[in-house]
């Protein structure tokens, strides 16, 4: 592996050039590969060398470029790219767990992650305990001799709570459990979960890696034994592979990701500071603010507060909707990490599947809005927000 800095890796790592010497990475839009002889087909099915491929569900040169580039960024031994972030989460958890095993997960999870943990895993005989991820004592108390996985998001969606990665890793290690981190909200730029003690890191590439709202994608990173072993076995036979075209979009997304994410986080902290104390707002939640409940932990394990801010409006759902409808630049949608700033009302959209009790337990109130800060001018965004807040009842 090269000793390059992040930006150099993001532009050059993993590149494979064909005999034409193309400057920009090629899209190998092919499902299959031909063999010079029957013997070489047999040999390839027997054993795959580094740059040999059989079928795009197993691997493809453009997909391999994306995998190698993000693995270099994360300093991971290996990566497997998936059709979506959820294919990555599903693949990692099903490859690690079997009937009779136990998983401990933070309860503040992305809706579909919660569905896999709460609804799917128990169907296959996996025991599940959900804990308050911010409480190391709760992780410790939940561990059992058969605990195989500790799973959490940090920062969490949409309340932006942080989980102490090194702390959970130390607890997990005592019973030999693997730590699986969904690192989407912190981005691969700001938080190196593997370095902090995670065994497996997952991304929805749909978010900051694409960063321009085009394609679905995901990736699982970890040690070679796991990625090229049980994970690849599970994903290549169950059809979760990333398409070569989407891999190319993600590969090009990586080239600009450091610049984009840093610009978005710079705007996010500016907006958070300017909005804190606004009289229409009950709270501004941003991990880079001193008022964040885990400011010290965030400072220790994450380089910046990220690209998402949560705002709690004083007037509940009515005020939140009035505010959203009055925004002119910021769009109502449910993606995040995009070049375009996006506002989401989790209680009625991304988290509407949860019961009133679950919502209350997770702190997802009727007045809570998730703001994904884009690449627009920060002054324009602040003016849009302040003017729309005027339209919202207190
Ligand atoms: C979006 C998201 C996912 C799922 O990713 P998809 O690409 O939509 O399948 C998983 N975890 C987190 C934290 C996410 O934000």
Per-residue model confidence as pLDDT tens for the chain (394 residues): 678 999 999 999 999 999 999 999 999 999 999 999 999 999 999 998 889 999 999 999 999 999 999 999 999 999 999 999 999 999 999 999 999 999 999 999 988 999 999 999 999 999 999 999 999 999 999 999 999 999 999 999 999 999 999 999 999 999 999 999 999 999 999 999 999 999 999 999 999 999 999 999 999 999 999 999 999 999 999 999 999 999 999 999 999 999 999 999 999 999 999 999 999 999 999 999 999 999 999 999 999 999 999 999 999 999 999 999 999 999 999 999 999 999 999 999 999 988 999 999 999 999 999 999 999 999 999 999 999 999 887 6
3-state secondary structure of 13: coil
Lining residues, ligand 1, CB within 6 Å: 84-86, 89, 110, 112-113, 153, 157, 182, 184-185, 204, 206-207, 216, 218
Do residues 237 and 80 lie in contact, with contact meaning Cβ atoms separated by under 8 Å? no
Distance 85 CA to ligand 1 centre (A): 5
Q: Measured between alpha carbons, how far is 194 from 74 in angstroms, rounded to an integer?
A: 7
Nearest CA to ligand 1 atom 1: 204
Atom of ligand 1 nearest to the CA of 88: 9
How far apart are the CA of 154 and the centre of ligand 1, in A? 13
Alpha helices, H only, the chain? 6-12, 38-46, 61-74, 85-96, 111-115, 121-123, 136-142, 165-175, 187-190, 224-226, 232-238, 244-275, 295-301, 316-326, 356-362, 378-391
364 alpha carbon to ligand 1 midpoint, in Å? 18
Distance 44 CA to ligand 1 centre (A): 34
* Neighbouring C-beta atoms of residue 296, cutoff 10 Å: 11
What is the C-alpha to C-alpha distance for residues 109 and 303, in angstroms, rounded to an integer? 22
For 15, phi then psi, to 5°, come to -60, 130
Pocket test for ligand 1, best of 82, 84, 86 (most atoms within 8 A of CB): 86
pLDDT of the residue at 353: 87
For residues 169 and 298, the answer to whether their CB atoms sit within 8 Å is no
User: Measured between alpha carbons, how far is residue 390 from residues 46, 323, 324, 375, 387 in Å?
Assistant: 67, 8, 11, 24, 5
**Would you state the structure tokens that stand for residue 73, as one six-digit string?**
């960024």
Give me ligand 1 centre to Cα 45, in Å: 33
Query: Which of 89, 182, 188, 204 most suits a substitution to test ligand 1, by most atoms within 8 Å of the C-beta?
Result: 204
Q: What is the pLDDT of residue 392?
A: 85
Q: Of ligand 1's atoms, which has the minimum distance to the CA of residue 205?
A: 7
Closest atom of ligand 1 relative to the 156 alpha carbon: 13
What is the structure's pLDDT at 22? 97
b/e code 224-248 from CB counts within 10 Å (16+ = b): eebbeeebbebbbeeebbbbbebbb
**So what's the pLDDT on residue 394?**
61
Neighbouring residues of 5: CB distance < 8 A, sequence distance ≥ 6: none
Helix (H, G, I), strand (E, B) or coil at 146: coil
CATH code assigned to 257-389: 3.90.1150.10
- How far is the C-alpha of 368 from the C-alpha of 364, rounded, in Å? 6
Measured CA to CA, the distance from residue 265 to residue 242 in angstroms comes to 28
pLDDT in tens, 180-230: 999 999 999 999 999 999 999 999 999 999 999 999 999 999 999 999 999
Q: What are phi and psi of 18, to 5 degrees?
A: -80, -175
pLDDT of residue 171: 98
Q: Report the DSSP pairing between strands 368-372 and 342-344.
A: antiparallel
Closest listed residue to residue 219, CA positions, set 62, 82, 76, 74: 82
Q: How far is the CA of 54 from the centre of ligand 1 (A)?
A: 29
Ligand 1 atom nearest residue 207's Cα: 1
- State the distance from the centre of ligand 1 to the C-alpha of 184, rounded, in angstroms: 7
Annotated domain spans of the chain: 6-253, 257-389
Residue 87 CA: nearest ligand 1 atom is 9
Check residue 197 and give its pLDDT.
Answer: 97
C-alpha pair distances (Å), 93 with each of 200, 231, 351: 10, 9, 22
- Atom in ligand 1 nearest the alpha carbon of residue 218: 7
Cα gap 383→388, rounded to integer Å: 8
For 6-253, CATH number? Answer: 3.40.640.10
């Amino acid at each position: 592996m090269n000793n390059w800095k992040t930006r150099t890796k993001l532009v050059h790592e993993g590149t494979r050039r064909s005999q034409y010497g193309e400057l920009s990475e090629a899209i190998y839009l092919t499902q299959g590969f031909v063999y010079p002889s029957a013997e070489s087909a047999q040999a390839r099915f027997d054993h795959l060398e580094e740059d040999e491929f059989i079928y795009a569900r197993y691997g493809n040169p453009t997909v391999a470029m994306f995998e190698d580039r993000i693995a270099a960024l994360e300093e991971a031994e290996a990566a497997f790219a998936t059709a979506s972030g959820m294919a990555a989460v599903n693949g990692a958890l099903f490859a690690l767990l079997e009937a009779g095993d136990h998983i401990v997960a933070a309860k503040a999870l992305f809706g579909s992650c919660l569905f896999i943990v709460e609804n799917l895993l128990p169907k296959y005989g996996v025991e599940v305990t959900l804990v308050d991820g911010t409480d190391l004592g709760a992780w410790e108390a939940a561990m059992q001799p058969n605990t195989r996985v500790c799973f959490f998001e940090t920062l969490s969606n949409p309340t932006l709570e942080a989980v102490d990665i090194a702390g959970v890793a130390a607890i997990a290690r005592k019973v030999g459990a693997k730590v699986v981190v969904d690192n989407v909200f912190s981005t691969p730029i700001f938080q190196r979960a593997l370095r902090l003690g995670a065994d497996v890191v997952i991304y929805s590439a749909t978010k900051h890696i694409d960063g321009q709202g085009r394609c679905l994608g995901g990736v699982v990173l970890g040690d070679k034994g796991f990625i090229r072993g049980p994970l690849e076995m599970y994903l290549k036979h169950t059809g979760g592979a990333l398409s070569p075209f989407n891999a190319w979009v993600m590969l090009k997304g990586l080239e600009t990701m450091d610049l984009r994410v840093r610009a978005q986080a710079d705007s996010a902290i500016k907006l958070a500071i300017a909005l804190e104390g606004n009289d229409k707002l009950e709270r501004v939640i941003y991990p880079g603010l001193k008022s964040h409940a885990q400011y010290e932990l965030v400072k220790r394990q994450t380089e910046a507060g990220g690209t998402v801010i949560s705002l709690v409006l004083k007037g509940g759902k009515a005020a939140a909707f009035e505010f959203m409808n009055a925004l002119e630049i910021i769009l109502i949608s449910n993606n995040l990490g995009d070049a375009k700033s996006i506002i989401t009302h989790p209680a009625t959209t991304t988290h509407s599947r949860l019961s009133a009790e679950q919502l209350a337990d997770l702190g997802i109130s009727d007045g809570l809005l998730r703001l994904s800060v884009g690449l627009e001018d920060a002054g324009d965004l602040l003016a849009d927000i302040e003017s729309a807040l005027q339209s919202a009842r207190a």
